Amino acid sequence: MDLIENPLTEVITIDGPAASGKSTVGLMLAKKLNYLFLDTGCMYRAVTLAILNRQVDPADEAAAVHIAKTSSIDIASAKGFDDGRLYTVFLEGQDVTWEIRSPEVDAHVSLVSSYKEVRAEMVRQQRLIAHDRAVVMVGRDIGTVVLPNAPLKLFITASAEERARRRLQDRQQQGISASYEEILADIKRRDIFDSEREHSPLKPANDAVIIDTSQENPNEVLDRILSLAAV
């Protein structure tokens, strides 16, 4: 079966930069439609955490690829938890949902996710999931690379300043000390890196609907998407 050309009928892709609100809206949409919610960014974060846990230099591409291919990464719902998580991430059977959101992972995930063979392995797993069940899949290259034939593709964005404010709020809720200025600088750095990387750069698909969430709350964005999906 060709996992690119085979028709997809129950798939919605959502791409966009860090802290744009795509994960929050994607989860709400998945719950509304009773679809699986998959934030593919957490898969790259889990690989990055695995690299750091093994005390491997993230700049060692060969080692990063090996870890990506051999690590056990599972994504489950947030059911049973009341700590603000959107989903549960397991690395080698351990719950690492909040560990993958650490500043250390933030600092290296863009580099790790830029490696061609790391992306190829994650894309392989993501396509298998999409052809097995109805899914709202969120990431940075879902509509352009992973599932280019999805029937509805969205690109959700927001100003860098608004995204930094949201990320700071997340850090504070987790009890992590951080400054707005540092977060804003990191977001701008990641935007440039993700948009200019050689493999699967961050950009809207040609037929994606672009939604700016800077001045909209998640419920307003959800209503817009449901109207697009004709639900």
Average pLDDT of the residues in 26-55: 94
Compute the distance between CA of residue 70 and CA of residue 73 in angstroms, rounded to an integer: 9
Cα–Cα dist 160/207, whole Å: 24
Under 8 Å CB-to-CB from 42, ≥6 apart: which residues?
75, 87, 89, 100
Query: In this model, does residue 120 exceed pLDDT 50?
Result: yes
Instruction: State residue 8's pLDDT score.
Output: 57
**Domain 11-229: what homologous superfamily?**
P-loop containing nucleotide triphosphate hydrolases (3.40.50.300)
- Residue 9 has what pLDDT? 64
**pTM of this structure:** 0.79
* Residue 77: Cβ within 10 Å count: 15
Q: Are 194 and 141 in contact (CB under 8 A)?
A: no
- Sign of the alpha-carbon dihedral angle for 94, 95, 101, 103: negative
**For 141-182, how does the pLDDT look when each residue is reduced to its tens digit (9 = 90+)?**
999 999 999 999 999 999 999 999 999 998 888 888 889 999
Contact 165, 177 (CB under 8 A): no
